[in-house]
Structure 1
Amino acid sequence: MKRGTKLATTGGSLLVLTLLAGSMAVSQSSPNEPGTPTAPTAPMVPVGLVSFDSCADALAELRAAATASVGPYGFAGDAVLFGDRTAAIGGAESKARTFAEAPGDAAVRDAGAGHSTTNNHEAGADEPDLVKTDGRRIVTVTGGVLRVVDPVTRRVTGRLDLTDDREELRWQEHRLLLLGDRALVLREDPPRPADSLRSIRRAGATRLLLIDLSARPQLLGTYRVGGSTVDARLTGRTARVAVRTSAQLRFPPMAEGTDRVRTERNRAVIARAGVEAWLPEYEWTAGAERHTGRVGCDRLNRPDRMTGSSTLTVLSFDLTADRLGDGDPVAVAADADTVYGTATSLYLAGRRPAPITGAPRWQPPSTEQVTDVYQFDTAEPGRPRFLAAGSVPGWLINQYALSEWAGHLRVATTTGEFVGDGTASESAVRVLRRDGGALVPTGEVGGLGRGERIYSVRYLGPVAYVVTFRQTDPLYALDLTDPTAPTVTGELKITGYSAYLHPLPEQRLLGVGQEADRQGRTKGLQVSLFDVRDPGRPNRLDQWHLPGGWSQAEYDPHAFLYRPDTGLVALPVNDGVRLLRVGNDTISEIGEVTHPAASVRDGVRWAPPVRRSLVVDDVLWTVSEAGLRATDPASARNLAWIAAT
């Protein structure tokens, strides 16, 4: 294939470009103060997507990449060391703008809505969760059974067992997307050792189930693809699901011999592998119909740098249809662990695998970590269209480290080694813009939290807040109005840290995380109320602390519920839910909601933790594997209990 040419494939395929990405070399320490804007450094390594001319071309390039990447124990970052490889399951005026005027953030809207929605990152891009409501019904899956609850009568009006009589699936997490009378259920199917050695059977798979909710819940169709779910987004009527599939290569068990000998054995396996080892296999059903297939070579693209160790596939499904179909796949011979979506774009980001160095696996790589980012256009229904790619130094904490605003992508990463005293690490926010098929740098601000790492990030229009931590918690306020010169405007140092930041009215910010002593030892859950009206002087107004406590919302924002109309905050804390009321300057506790121990596991009564909260018509509903409880949010008084039977 000739590099540097623009390709247009037929049949509505992606427009594929050779790119010179906005990849930036790691910033070196400079005499500038931390947070001083610096000009972006020169591009580092070309990154982009190119198509293969044929399956033979694809096989040759994939074999070459995998051969160069494999070591004596397999690929760097593998979930296993040897044997069957399995997918890893598992302007100035803008500074004074209120949060409600900052577009594109799903957390600041629907203050007067009759029901809550999933705590999504961005408006227009719904995220799958354990429970969904449209205000007239509550849909959840517990114990492998989908239940529909009428919030008015407080009764179960529909029930559908999704386990296929497999007991292990009753303990498998199911997540949902809801659109009208359709629900899409996502779960991971564990491997079936007794099945054939086909990759979809051996390595576990992502399973999707399309449910009709117009009357009694009915299964319309299923989709199963080898690999593990990275994440999904629903924009308009189209659900897009990103799946990571490990290359299906049966490396031999570790035996006698040197590392060189073991590496050569693994390379021999790669040399014998066919192209199907890298092309995910799938099957879909619709009623009595059953279809099987494999992602074609014409749907597979590759970055200029790849390891040949995995494939990332984006599937698209129309939830208004009566079947899922083949998912209209788009695949990239790359890896990703983070999905960030807006109403019009989908970004896939992942840490570039470290090269095999010959050093023991437990030693950290000497090369700097790099994160690759791929942008797709999802403004129209159906298959996403590839737009651009780029790279930044360092690694992401989660999807909240990414933000698209005013034609730019902002990315917060930590670079360097966070080991020992942590002095080698620091963090930065970089701004990229799309130039043709490349995400190129326009500006950056670095030197944040030297010796620390990022714990949380929140972008609100032209403003960003970044929390770093090792012993104390600097909350940085950043002005990103000028994409060529982002700056730090203020900093607040307090003990502990916030792992999740949520915007409130009147330019307040709520942080959920852990209190800590001066040595950085955590001391339990804390909720902090910040005043960020003055970008130069962020200030903490109040704090709620529970010694020894923890909350799922620290690592999963979907567990966080806030109602702007009442100031209600519901947080899963340990095994129950704490209800707080947040005003302009204070945090007060309303009470606690708990669920009964109604499950039996191995002959022992087990109290499953309460994991989610939602509001429908001024009633708080909490969800656990044991069931759903209706509660008065103003007093924490119990109203009804629906057991998951």
Structure 2
Amino acid sequence: MNRKRWLFLSLFVVLSAGIWAGIYFMQPTVSGFAGSSPPAYVFKDKVWELRFTKPMDASTITEDSVYVQNEDHERVPVSASLNEAGTVLTVTAPKEGYNNLEAYTLHLSEDLKSKLGLGIRGEQTMAFEVVEELPAAESTDYLKKYFTAILDQQKTQERPYSASDEASDSAGDTAQESSSDAMGGGGDFSQTNNQVDGVSEADIVQTDGEFIYHITGNQLVHIVEAGDREAIEPVSAISFEEEFYPSQLFLKDDTLIVIGDKWMTKADPDEKASRDSQPAGDMSVTIAKIYSVSNPAEPELIREAGAEGYFNSARMIDSHLYFVTNFSPNFWLLEEDQDVELRPHIWDSSKGGSFEPVAAEKISVIPENEQGEYAVITAIDISSPDSEITTETYLGTGGQLYMSENSLYLATSNGPYTIMPIDIMPAGQGASETTIYKFDIDGSSVTFSSKGTVKGGVLNQFSMDEHDGHFRIATTEGNTFGDNRNSLNHLFILNEQMEPVGSVEGLAKGERIYSARFMGDKAYMVTFRETDPLFVIDTADPEAPEVLGELKIPGFSTYLHPLDENHLIGFGMETDLVKNDSAADSPQVRQTGMKISLFDISDFSNPKEKDTEVIGGPGTFSTLMDNHKALFQHKERSLFGFPVVVYDEKPESDDIQFVNQGAMLYTITPDGGIELASEIMDEAQEGQQYEDWDSQIQRMLYIDDTLYTVRSNKIESHELPE
């Protein structure tokens, strides 16, 4: 063969390979059909949503290219459709639904082609089984297959979303729901600012009117006798073993509950026998320590309960404690060790001193979900030291928690069953929908009830509410950053079976929810980009909610608190718009201080900002803005307070400087508006550039006529303003 012919053939081979490689990579791909995955569990009305990497040709969607077969290989009457962009294929169940307890297979053939005429890379199938109730994991082999499938998807960057994938612009920091008691409220002493009446929440400080219990900065819980005196020394301190970090407190009569995280380390990682008594690898566990404080000077540890995973949230109803942890096993270790433990571990001190894995048959699998995360719900009746601890373990969920007196809800933000690689996902598009799982609560009994799905991502627990047998949720869908600001805000109403019955959709395009509040049959929603629209939404008719009014003002509220049925208080930031040098560029939003707003909502169609107060300048902040428990309230005296760190602009400069830190109290009334009642501030020391975390005021509370400020290192008493 002469040299020219050899070069020509070589070039032809290279070009051919390049062409075929180009065709290969231009073919639309379909993920989620991993062969190692066990059959997917779904409910009878399952709707499959599959996303493609290339726009598809709608004319190629036929009964022969997309179909579902039953166990007898007979086709069932499903319907298939593409979205307008051609990137999402929806496969809807038969009109009467699939048959319960039967197995099916979804088929996509190579006849399904892109708009370029290229078929998908080989026929794809998905096996699924229809269930009426949550199925059990059955065996550790099932768990291995489940997590191996997720591992395979992650390798190709084609994976389902997990609860931790919520888009940053769809899951903000604060928003609040109806509550009657702040750190203040009725009676002779303060109570925690609870979201729902009758459902208590934990905090870093608690009081019974005689003693104050608070978590200090050095892994201690101090117990302080209340009194109007200059130096308040603890009567006792609860210390903990190394690596335990307390974070939350409950106080019920003579019982103190300390919830915290502990880092568990194996004594010998090479001992396989230790797998049954320790978590898989060195991981964090959540522990609730229950103390008798009938004698506060000598607190007595009476019981402990723990669950592997990071702390999600906790509630108490009467004497029943509920805490939720989320656990993600080290399933990537399956590539090296097929015996890696994939089950979460739990612990009851009354049954021994070691963590034990949850039996596979006691792990419930959430249908229609493939997330590599467990939600472990622990329930304890603290009134009886010998009561049985209930632990319910659910594979495939996590997310924000909302709880009423009868139900617990977990809202998991996720996306469609995606085929698009993560690195080309538009920014902020991760939370395209939220699935809400409802659990019935009866004492220590926790049982799965139903689930529902809505568009968009949930902000946090306060974007959810239960009212008159219906569940209400506010969400943000889409992107709020960059040039493609296509976000929309919605409010959905679901019935007791978590079926959608009504909605208000498409509010404030390009903005996101910063706070929400539900008061009776009204919903209040704050969105923001350049101005702060406050929407008033009537939900009296769950099937036909409607926007009654809207108020646009500078700034935004991150926490809404009811003053009375006709007035709301908004805590957030003041803002202004700074024009850019280029006329073509949009003005930039600049935060200019902390803002308190008093809203008059007596006329639902015309809400008004009745009064305002701006504190400090750029950089000023309060923990209240991302933690509703930092609000102090004394109802009888109309007092509202919060910790604050004040910054301001330097004279003749764009730089900011630290001014002081402490706490402020305001008298807020419908007639008198917002008036400063008292302030407890620590002025900046010479050369101090930033706030001092160790000495910051974290909470305020009152007992009788005495105001207490709680810092991480001490408690101080003050006269309570009239």
| TM bucket normalised to smaller | 0.7 to 0.9
Q: How does 1:286-297 map to 2 (within 5 A)?
A: 286=350, 289-297=352-360
Question: Partners of 2:703 and 2:48 in 1: how far apart?
Answer: 46
Per the alignment, residue 602 of structure 2 pairs with 533
- Superposed displacement of residue 243, structure 1: 0.5
Per the alignment, residue 410 of structure 2 pairs with 348
Q: TM-score, normalised by structure 2?
A: 0.70
- Superposed displacement of residue 618, structure 1: 2.5
Long gaps (5+) in structure 1: 1-15, 30-41, 82-102, 252-266, 599-603, 636-645
- Superposed displacement of residue 173, structure 1: 5.0
CA distance change for structure 1 residues 414 and 202 in 2, over 3 Å: closer, same or farther?
Answer: same
Is 2:674 the counterpart of 1:583? no
Per the alignment, residue 291 of structure 2 pairs with 211
Deviates more, 1:107-116 or 1:530-539: 107-116
CA distance change for structure 1 residues 146 and 283 in 2, over 3 Å: closer, same or farther?
Answer: same
Amino acid at match of 2:187: A
SS of residue paired to 2:495: strand
The question of whether the paired residues in 1 share the 8 Å contact of 2:280 and 2:342 is answered with no
Per the alignment, residue 537 of structure 2 pairs with 478
Per the alignment, residue 160 of structure 1 pairs with 237
SS of residue paired to 2:624: helix
Question: Partners of 1:218 and 1:318 in 2: how far apart?
Answer: 18
- Superposed displacement of residue 248, structure 1: 2.3
- Superposed displacement of residue 323, structure 1: 6.0
Q: How does 1:206-355 map to 2 (within 5 A)?
A: 206-215=286-295, 216-251=298-333, 268=335, 273-274=338-339, 277-286=341-350, 289-322=352-385, 327-352=389-414, 355=418
What do residues 246-305 of structure 1 show as CA deviations (whole Å, max 9, x unaligned)?
022244xxxxxxxxxxxxxxx745xx645x73321123325x952432222232112222
Per the alignment, residue 70 of structure 1 pairs with 154
Question: Partners of 2:484 and 2:265 in 1: how far apart?
Answer: 43
- Superposed displacement of residue 174, structure 1: 1.8
Larger radius of gyration: 2
Per the alignment, residue 635 of structure 2 pairs with 564
SS of residue paired to 1:360: helix
Higher relative contact order (CA 8 A, sep 6+): 1
Question: Partners of 1:58 and 1:138 in 2: how far apart?
Answer: 49
SS of residue paired to 1:520: strand
Question: Partners of 1:589 and 1:195 in 2: how far apart?
Answer: 60
The question of whether the paired residues in 1 share the 8 Å contact of 2:428 and 2:480 is answered with no
Q: How does 1:444-483 map to 2 (within 5 A)?
A: 444-483=503-542
SS of residue paired to 1:199: coil
Per the alignment, residue 3 of structure 1 pairs with none
Question: Partners of 2:419 and 2:206 in 1: how far apart?
Answer: 44
Per the alignment, residue 11 of structure 2 pairs with none
The question of whether the paired residues in 2 share the 8 Å contact of 1:112 and 1:565 is answered with yes
What do residues 390-417 of structure 1 show as CA deviations (whole Å, max 9, x unaligned)?
1111111111100000000001000011
Per the alignment, residue 623 of structure 1 pairs with 710
SS of residue paired to 2:457: coil
Question: Partners of 2:269 and 2:373 in 1: how far apart?
Answer: 21
What do residues 163-220 of structure 1 show as CA deviations (whole Å, max 9, x unaligned)?
31x3x65xx4521111111111111224648764853651212122111101111222
The question of whether the paired residues in 2 share the 8 Å contact of 1:115 and 1:614 is answered with yes
SS of residue paired to 1:483: coil
- Superposed displacement of residue 306, structure 1: 2.4
The question of whether the paired residues in 1 share the 8 Å contact of 2:286 and 2:307 is answered with yes
Question: Partners of 2:461 and 2:204 in 1: how far apart?
Answer: 19
> How many residues are treated as equivalent by the alignment?
554
What do residues 563-586 of structure 1 show as CA deviations (whole Å, max 9, x unaligned)?
221111111111411111112141
CA distance change for structure 1 residues 334 and 158 in 2, over 3 Å: closer, same or farther?
Answer: farther
CA distance change for structure 1 residues 56 and 284 in 2, over 3 Å: closer, same or farther?
Answer: closer
Per the alignment, residue 92 of structure 1 pairs with none
Amino acid at match of 1:302: V
The question of whether the paired residues in 2 share the 8 Å contact of 1:426 and 1:446 is answered with yes
The question of whether the paired residues in 1 share the 8 Å contact of 2:480 and 2:511 is answered with yes
Amino acid at match of 2:457: W
Match of 1:187 among 225, 248, 260: 260
**CA-atom RMSD in angstroms:** 3.8
Amino acid at match of 2:634: R
SS of residue paired to 2:629: helix
Match of 2:135 among 42, 46, 51: 51
Amino acid at match of 1:162: S
Match of 2:201 among 127, 147, 168: 127
SS of residue paired to 1:587: strand
CA distance change for structure 1 residues 186 and 201 in 2, over 3 Å: closer, same or farther?
Answer: farther
Per the alignment, residue 148 of structure 1 pairs with 223
Deviates more, 1:343-352 or 1:478-487: 343-352
What do residues 498-543 of structure 1 show as CA deviations (whole Å, max 9, x unaligned)?
0000001251100000001134221110010000001001001111
- Superposed displacement of residue 110, structure 1: 8.6
Per the alignment, residue 473 of structure 2 pairs with 411
CA distance change for structure 1 residues 150 and 368 in 2, over 3 Å: closer, same or farther?
Answer: closer
CA distance change for structure 1 residues 206 and 56 in 2, over 3 Å: closer, same or farther?
Answer: closer
Question: Partners of 1:153 and 1:19 in 2: how far apart?
Answer: 64
Long gaps (5+) in structure 2: 1-40, 51-82, 84-95, 98-127, 166-176, 271-277, 578-587, 646-660, 686-690
The question of whether the paired residues in 2 share the 8 Å contact of 1:576 and 1:595 is answered with yes
The question of whether the paired residues in 2 share the 8 Å contact of 1:104 and 1:122 is answered with yes
Question: Partners of 1:157 and 1:486 in 2: how far apart?
Answer: 53
CA distance change for structure 1 residues 485 and 68 in 2, over 3 Å: closer, same or farther?
Answer: farther
- Superposed displacement of residue 613, structure 1: 1.4
SS of residue paired to 2:361: helix
- Superposed displacement of residue 376, structure 1: 1.2
CA distance change for structure 1 residues 19 and 400 in 2, over 3 Å: closer, same or farther?
Answer: farther
Amino acid at match of 1:480: T
Per the alignment, residue 549 of structure 2 pairs with 490
| Identity rate, percent | 26
Per the alignment, residue 4 of structure 1 pairs with none
